[in-house]
């Protein structure tokens, strides 16, 4: 954020110019803030999260499936002896 120094103005036009600049800067910051909010909202939207949930479910399933297969094979091996 830009700090304003104590400035000596010599005319109302200078004051108006600085006020317009500050108003534009404020509007730019406000629009950036709105955009950030929209980005966050979009990233939390269900269609954005769905692929992550699906990948997580596949990982959990594959891990449990691997565990089940290994368990099954170990039971088969130890029952034979």
Give CA angle at 74 (60, 76), nearest 5°: 120
* pLDDT tens readout for residues 24-33: 999 999 999 9
Distance CA 67, CA 63 (A): 6
Higher pLDDT, 75 or 37: 37
pLDDT value at position 4?
A: 61
Where exactly are the structural domains of the chain? 10-44, 49-81
């Amino acid at each position: 954020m830009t700090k304003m120094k104590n400035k000596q103005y010599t005319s109302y036009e200078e004051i108006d110019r600085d006020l317009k600049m500050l108003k534009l800067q404020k509007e730019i910051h406000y629009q950036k803030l709105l955009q950030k909010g929209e980005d966050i909202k979009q990233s939390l939207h269900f269609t954005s999260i769905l692929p992550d949930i699906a990948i997580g479910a596949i990982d959990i399933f594959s891990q449990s499936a691997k565990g089940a297969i290994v368990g099954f094979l170990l039971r088969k091996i130890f029952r034979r002896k």
